[in-house]
Amino acid sequence: MDHSATTPVDPLVLDSMLPYFSELFGNPSSLHSFGNEASEALSLARRQVAEIIGALPEEIIFTSGGTESDNLAIRGVIPHDSGKKHVITSAVEHPAVLNTCAFLEKVGHDVTYVPVDSNGVVDLEYLEKSIRDDTIVISVMHANNEVGTIQPLKEIAQIAKKHGICFHTDAVQSVGKIPVNVDDLGVDLLSISSHKIYGPKGVGALYVRKGTMIEPIVFGGNHEKGIRSGTENVPGIIGLGKAMVLAQERLEPDSEKMRQMRDSLIKRILESVDDVRLNGHPTQRLPNNVNFSFKYVEGESMLMLLDMKGIGVSTGSACSSRSQKSSNVLSSLGIEDEYIHGSLRISLGRENSMEEIDYVVKSLKETVSKLREMSPLAGK
């Protein structure tokens, strides 16, 4: 129930990768036949990824994952010798984008963080007003990793186009869950991660629209057209290609199944538990994302009790995981203090079933009521 964190590698993906660890171990840059085999496999993966998102193979740059793709997209489009520039992003981005922007501010660039409404949707008017003559790039995620809100990318793309600004989106959470097509969305750069779509960890891709000016942030032997040097992670890239193909094939049935489970879970919890709210957009949300906030209880405690029942979830509360920081996404949504500490994200995957949803509903109700009995706030 924590598929937005990561997913298991699909057996078919693993099978496609295995030969490239052993008998097909060639370096794609080598000119001999061992190298050619690897190089051809790489081309196939590049075509697979490109076709699924409606791009050209030469517009795909393989990276080490979503984080590197985000870093490359944003830092790469700011010419290295250009002096001070301006970047626009949203307040609810993944740390891969937010911390890249924080770094840019530190070295002298300006960044505008566009606020979101209570459903997590970026304020388009604010975004357009913040555009300056020296704005280089707008980076807004396709779907939010915590609350699942899907952003109006087409509208943002129109604004970016009107002002001649490069538009990047982090599509790490949306690929494989909702249709992602670079022309439909109107983006110039798009980040993809493999391990969120039943592919291996440590590999991803960045789509770079033809004609987009981008400079490398990693230098070396000019792999990936010089935009991302370093010998390609051949097995990983093969796995990403296969995972993309499978995700595309299963997109409709999988998302429909997850949507039904999601809606059932939301409906049953909202109906049977008091003082609970759904975070994120009621309809414009990822088919696999549920994010609740329960009053009077704390997220990490819920997480732990559910973990003991065999259910893995995540929380944006201050004591969550190992970060000790409250979720900036939830506070950007303006969620009240009484609710913000009791947040819980349940992210579904293709292998989940309605029986498991029944178990989650039952376990979640037990967990909340057990913790509320202990809470000095409940019943006051």
Partner 1 sequence: MQVSDPGGVYLYSKKVIEEFSNPSNVGSIENADGVGEIGSTVDGDIINISIKVRDNVLEDVKFKTFGCVVAISTSSMVTKLSKGKTIDEVLELKNEDVIEALEGLPEGKDRCSGFALDALKMAIEDYKQKNK
Residue with tokens 């900036």: 328
Distance CA 124, CA 62 (A): 31
Would you state the structure tokens that stand for residue 370, as one six-digit string? Answer: 């057990």
| CA 288/CA 148 separation, integer angstroms | 8
> Which is nearer to partner 1, 58 or 366 (by Cβ)?
366
Q: Segment contacting partner 1 (CB under 8 A): 78-86, 193-201, 219-227, 316-324? A: 316-324
Nearer to partner 1, 231 or 323 (CB): 323
**Residue from 217, 266, 273, 319 carrying the catalytic annotation:** 319
SS3 state of residue 373: helix
Q: Does 354 bind partner 1 (CB under 8 A)?
A: no
DSSP annotation of 147? T
351 binds partner 1 (CB under 8 A): yes
For residue 369, give both structure tokens: 């009521």
Q: Is 281 in the site for partner 1 (CB under 8 A)?
A: no
- Contact call for residue 273 and partner 1 (CB under 8 A): no
Is residue 305 a contact residue for partner 1 (CB under 8 A)? yes
> Which range, of 21-29, 69-77, 89-97, 295-303, touches partner 1 by CB under 8 A?
295-303
How many whole angstroms separate alpha carbon 169 and alpha carbon 209? 12
Q: Which of 180, 164, 116 is nearest to 144 (CA)?
A: 116
Q: Write the DSSP assignment of 96-110 as a string of letters.
A: HHHHHHHHHHHTT-E
The mark string for 52-71 relative to partner 1 (x by CB under 8 A, - otherwise) is: --------------------
Rounded-to-integer distance, Cα 32 and Cα 35, Å: 5
A 10 A CB-CB count for 230 gives 14
Cα separation, 78 vs 99, whole angstroms: 16
Query: Is position 334 an interface residue for partner 1 (rule: CB under 8 A)?
Result: no
Candidates 152, 253, 312, 334; binder of partner 1 (CB under 8 A) is 312
Edge-to-edge strand order for the sheet containing 166-170? 60-63, 204-208, 189-193, 166-170, 135-139, 86-90, 110-114
Q: Does 117 bind partner 1 (CB under 8 A)?
A: no
Q: Which window, 18-26, 130-138, 254-262, 321-329, contacts partner 1 (CB under 8 A)?
A: 321-329
Q: Which is nearer to partner 1, 213 or 354 (CB)?
A: 354
Q: Is the CB of 167 or the CB of 292 nearer to partner 1?
A: 292
Q: Is 366 in the site for partner 1 (CB under 8 A)?
A: no
CB within 8 Å of 40: residues ≥ 6 apart: none
Show the site string, 134-173: x = touches partner 1 by CB under 8 A, - = not.
Answer: ----------------------------------------
Closest CA to 242 of 47, 64, 94, 2: 47
For partner 1, the binding residue among 34, 268, 300, 361 (CB under 8 A) is: 300
101 is catalytic: no
Using CB under 8 A, which of 32, 80, 106, 322 touches partner 1? 322
For residue 148, the SS3 value is coil
Contact between 102 and partner 1 per CB under 8 A: no
| Residue span binding partner 1 (CB under 8 A) among the ranges 14-22, 71-79, 227-235, 312-320 | 312-320
Shortest Å, Cβ 322 to partner 1: 7
Instruction: Rule CB under 8 A: say whether 198 interacts with partner 1.
Output: no
In 3D space, the residue among 130, 210, 121, 185 whose CA is nearest the CA of residue 163 turns out to be 130
Among 86, 341, 345, 350, binds partner 1 (CB under 8 A): 341
Report CA 329 to chain centroid distance, whole Å: 13
H/E element, 290: strand 289-294
Is the CB of 68 or the CB of 298 nearer to partner 1? 298
- Identify the CA nearest to 189 among candidates 43, 96, 98, 71: 71
User: Contact between 375 and partner 1 (CB under 8 A)?
Assistant: yes
Binding residues vs partner 1 (CB under 8 A): 1-2, 296-301, 304-305, 307-312, 317-319, 322, 324, 326, 337-338, 340-341, 351-352, 356, 373-377
Active site (catalytic) residues: 319
